[in-house]
Structure 1
Amino acid sequence: MQRTKANQNKFFVGYRKHSIVCPSPKGPIVLFSVILPNDTADVKVMLPLLDMMKKIEGLKVDYLVADLGYFDADDQKEALLKHDVAVVTEIKKNTIIPEHCTPEGKPECEQGHALVFDGFDKDTYTAWFRGDDDKCAACPLQGLCEKQFGYSFTENPFFNGPVPQGSMLQEHMLNFRKQVELAFAQESNLLTSVMKHKKVPVRTTEHVGKWFILRDAFRLIERMIAHVRETILPPNHVAASRSCKRFKWNKYRCRWQDKRLQTAIKKMQITTQGIRFSKNRD
């Protein structure tokens, strides 16, 4: 079986990795992953991942960006209502767009003016939009319009969520997802090369899962070491450490030479005393 996905090998490896990834200044960091067979639908994995994410102490996630494989209205409702996590995705080409929205999913008023996002009420799960002041000033319905529009999240979670379609936040999150996809492509290529190696027994789902766990753990440790070097250690800590070791070695060497010198002096003193004693005896 072959694929034509960008940046990936054309052969499937038979496994699919589902991960929760967070951004960092040095790139994406994998918090945890689940390895499942390749025929497992992505929609069935998102909610179990959210349950696993709750078990991590001190971790609070407000937004979760996902690809179109996790595009499901019921799952997005349950993610926000039960887990308090807003799932952000793009919209599919065959998605039914509401009448008050543009083809890109942005809401408009009756006069066709684009609305401005005014916040999301978590008590009523309502997305609020307001009219643009510049466009409303010249609108003939200015005196009759309330300039406030509320849309229920439960009726249409794709367009009425905490992160509206076409917003700057959604664009930023989707760009981050592209970075994660590139990292996944590199991991897939690496796993393919490992599985082709006859001396590495990475074949079953359990072995593949352990291999990915080790990869993620090593990458996390590398990021932790880099973070400590940048935030805690001084800039020239490597040179300072080498000079300190060199100083200690020279100090030890001087002490060793001093001990040899003292031993030689004692021997000379003993020899000198013996010569003096023999002379006095004669």
Structure 2
Amino acid sequence: MPAAPAQDQSRPTGTRPTGSRTAAADRHGDARDGPGQPTARRQLELFAHMGADSVIIAPLRARRQVLGALTVARTSGRAALCEQDLALVDDFAHRIALAVDNARLHQETQRIAERLQRSLLPELPRHLQLTARYTPSRTTAEVGGDRYDSFLLPNGATTLIIGDVTGHDLRSAVTMSHLRNMLRGIACDRQGPPGHILHRLDRAYLSLYGGATASCVYALLTGPEAGPWTLEYANAGHPPPLLITYEGNTRYLDDGHGPLLGVDPRLPRPHAAEAPRVCCESGSCSFMIMSRGTWGSDERPVGPA
């Protein structure tokens, strides 16, 4: 087809494949097709192999990057592509480039978010048999506000913590990291009963993140290394922990349950305790807490034992 006059580069043209937004050519290319260029030669050979009489090549552009190219060809026996087809192909290319770029950005966000959350996973204390498992969601951005933690207090008590900030996005993961650091600071400074610690955490959380809610189980394990141990705990809107005895009996720890963090810091924060006779005599019981998301159903089993 004859070459079109020079046009604005921001609009579809029917000139050369290079330097224009959308280009049209026929397989009997002449000098305007750049036959001396290796890429142009390979393209013409491909078109000839396909039996194409006319071709439109449209670059896939997004955010000032070329992600690829859309090639539309018509074979012998059909009307050749012309200038009127450029706008349609250009629109197709724009939509495809947008979809490809969105998919690429989503994958990049997934990778960044998961690396961030995994970097926030703590190293568990080694003086007890503690085990934790973190599995990111496969249906969202693979990141969220779920967290677990365990560390030693200055008085020798071992903390066991799990919780969830509402949401499954990068913002909830960042909020989770802030909440974890606040709880660590309050717990190490006050070293008080779990209900009192969660009460102070609730006041700070509501002041800094008003409108957001979070769940949390804060437990303290005290006693000599060989046992018996005492477990004190408070629960702020989280599914109850599970106690597994040496005999294999199980029961949920439903006491010490209070509202979610961020609801009303004036509400009471009760805590409960398991007596040494019941809890971990001779080091022979397990304590498991699990996060299933405050509002979601994604399972992220975490089992300090």
TM-score when normalising by structure 1: 0.23
Q: Bigger relative contact order, structure 1 or 2, given CA contacts below 8 A and separation 6+?
A: 1
Relative to total residues, which structure has the larger strand share, 1 or 2? 2
Relative to total residues, which structure has the larger helix share, 1 or 2? 1
TM-score when normalising by structure 2: 0.22
